[in-house]
Amino acid sequence: MSAILSLNAGSSSIKFSIYRYSDEPSIVVTGSVSGLTASQQYLTFTSYKPSGEVLESIKNKEIECPDHDSAFRIFMEHVDSKAGEKRLVSFDDIAVVGHRIVHGGANARPLLITEDVYHELDVLSDLAPLHNQHALDIVHSCIARLPNAKNVAFFDSSFHMTIPRHIYTYPIDLDVQKRHQIRKYGFHGLSYAFIARETSDYLGVDYGNLNIIALHLGSGASACAILAGKSVNTSMGLTPLEGLPGATRSGSVDPSLIFHYHTDSSRMSTTLSKDIHLTVAEDILNKKSGWQSITGTTDFGVITKRAFEEKDELAKLAFDMFVDRVSMYVGQYWVALKGSAAALVFAGGIGEHGTELRKAVIEKVSCLGFTIDDELNAKASADSDVIIDVSKKDAELKTLVIHTDEQLQMAKEVIALQL
């Protein structure tokens, strides 16, 4: 058997999947370690028989795991032990490893990771401080552990290389922008590529005619306006800090507020690991802000529970702030698409599981024509279908929940590009 291993290092989690390399990727093993920014981590692991039936399933088992690379090692040990017992997959079968690398500069396509490419990506690490370095540590582990596999970098930024110049340019000195390749890049692109393809199939609209607003809401959250199948605007920017607030990220704020925060905010931070170079300002805005700074937890599920069941005031404040910022982008992108959006899509950990959040956002943007059916919405969070329509019956505009799958997107691209 020839297999593809897809690795997705997010800011609070790492997700892994192994597929059989055939015309359509078929799943062998999938899993994740979540809670990497919290005090408790959880392992999820599911293996499948060739028929597609579940062979073994572990859900949210409490584990101790300090970082992304350790999570990868735990996953591989698990695969290895199962492979020995039940011959699921051997490491020698893995021909290609797809790595989700958040910041890829202006690269519009995946790249085979050679020594030069690795160096190029290392230089970009400072522009995605919660992501690139973790992903590169895993690339290192793969080179050591799977010496015969090809390592391919898939960039979250690639999908947004179609954004027009007047949108990706910042209103600051043009020479500075050119010298330092400063521009809006945008992220979550593998997820948006997956969402766009699934939505076009579901709606029966040609991919080239697809106009939607997509929301990828997880520990890092972003919105994207997709016109004729292409990204024309997205809320993240030069780095994944811009736009919506996240678990530990401020999102867009008045840039001058940081000068009122700390007098030494431009100094290098001494609290971070040796491989990550951040100023105090970047450390505050990326790691000490977001809803954790308001509520003390990075878990939006916990915040929602506290806000609605315990009537906790700060949890409700964080919830309302998030709803406000998300709906603001829906309004902006509605205009960007000239009112032609066929659907609003919720994805990412919060988009897929946040029943109350979806309801609150749709209430805010209902003036545009979006609807939500309470019963379908409540059921959607526990549903395992890839795509769930939660709009009211006969609604012209669709409200959809999509279980986005960045690992599957990479596997499909590996096969399409015959890597």
Ligand X SMILES: CC(=O)OP(=O)(O)O
Please identify the residue of the shown chain whose CB is closest to the bound ligand ADP. Answer: 349
Number of residues in contact with ligand X under rule CB under 6 A: 10
Size of interface with ligand ADP, in residues (CB under 6 A): 18
When asked if residue 218 is in the footprint of ligand X (CB under 6 A), the reply is yes
Place of tokens 């370095």: 133
Q: Judged by CB under 6 A, does residue 156 bind ligand X?
A: yes
Q: Which of 69, 93, 156, 283 is catalytic?
A: 156
- Distance from the Cα of residue 352 to its chain's centroid: 12
Per rule CB under 6 A, is residue 11 in the interface with ligand ADP? yes
If the CB atoms of residues 34 and 158 are measured against ligand ADP, the closer one turns out to be 34
Q: Does 93 bind ligand ADP (CB under 6 A)?
A: no
Bridge pairing between strands 3-9 and 13-20: antiparallel
187 binds, among ligand ADP, Mg ion, ligand X, none (CB under 5 to 8 A by kind): ligand X
Q: Following DSSP, what letter does each residue of 309-357 receive, concatenated?
A: TS--HHHHHHHHHHHHHHHHHHHHHHHHTTT---EEEEEHHHHHH-HHH
Per the rule left: phi > 0, alpha: psi between -120 and 50, beta: everything else, 338 is left
Per CB under 6 A, which of residues 234..263 are in contact with ligand ADP?
A: 247
Token pair of 292 as six digits: 């954790």
Q: Is residue 12 at the binding interface for ligand ADP, with CB under 6 A as the rule? A: yes
Give the nearer residue to ligand ADP in terms of CB position, either 184 or 353.
353
Q: Which residue is nearest to Mg ion (CB)?
A: 10
Minimum distance from CB of 349 to ligand ADP (Å)?
Answer: 2
Which of 349, 327, 254, 249 is closest to 291 using CA atoms? 249
**Residue 299 contact partner, candidates ligand ADP, ligand X, Mg ion, none, CB within 5 to 8 A by sort of partner:** ligand ADP
Among 25, 110, 251, 349, binds ligand ADP (CB under 6 A): 349
Distance CA 86, CA 206 (A): 42
**Which H or E run contains 45?**
strand 41-48
Piece in contact with ligand ADP (CB under 6 A), picked from 79-87, 122-130, 196-204, 297-305: 297-305
> Does 104 participate in binding ligand X (rule CB under 6 A)?
no
DSSP helix/strand/coil, 303: helix
Query: Cα dist. 28→2, 51, 88, 143, 238 in Å?
Result: 11, 10, 7, 22, 36
Cβ-based burial of 51 (10 A; exposed 0-12, middle 13-18, buried ≥19): exposed
Binding mask 111-150 toward ligand ADP (x if CB under 6 A, else -) reads ----------------------------------------
Tokens read off for 34 = 């979540």
Active site residue 156: yes
Residue 223 near residue 215, CB atoms below 8 Å: yes
Question: How far apart are CB 353 and ligand ADP at their closest, in Å?
Answer: 4
Binding mask 278-317 for ligand X (x = CB under 6 A): ----------------------------------------
Q: If binding is defined by CB under 6 A, does position 188 make contact with ligand X?
A: yes
Among 21, 159, 168, 187, binds ligand X (CB under 6 A): 187
Element (H, E) at 183: none
Question: What pairing do the DSSP bridges indicate for beta strands 26-34 and 13-20?
Answer: antiparallel
Length of the chain: 419
Which residues ranging from 5 to 24 are in contact with Mg ion (CB under 5 A)?
A: 10
- The residue range among 111-119, 215-223, 254-262, 332-340 that interacts with ligand ADP, by the rule CB under 6 A, is 215-223
3-class DSSP state of 70: helix
For residue 333, the one-letter residue type is Y
Q: Where are the alpha helices (DSSP H) in 14-157?
A: 68-86, 115-124, 132-145
Residues with Cβ within 8 Å of 409's Cβ and at least 6 positions away in sequence, in order, are 154, 190, 191, 193, 194
Looking only at residues 212 through 231 of this chain, which bind Mg ion when binding is defined by CB under 5 A?
A: 218
| Closest approach of ligand X to the CB of residue 188, in Å | 5
Q: In whole angstroms, how close is the CB of 215 to ligand X at the nearest point?
A: 12
Part in contact with ligand ADP (CB under 6 A); list of ranges 216-224, 237-245, 270-278, 368-376: 216-224
- Which of residues 41, 219, 250, 286 is near ligand ADP by CB under 6 A? 219
How near is the Cβ of 156 to ligand X at its closest, in Å?
Answer: 6
Task: Please list, in sequence order, all residues whose beta carbon lies within 8 angstroms of the beta carbon of residue 277, skipping any fewer than 6 positions away.
Answer: 126, 268
Asked if 350 touches ligand ADP (CB under 6 A), the answer is yes
Distance of CA 98 to the CA centre of its chain: 15
Q: How far apart are CA 354 and CA 348, in angstroms?
A: 10
- Provide the binding-site residues for Mg ion, judged by CB under 5 A: 10, 218
| Active-site residue list | 156
Residues that bind ligand X (CB under 6 A): 10-11, 102, 156, 187-188, 218-220, 240
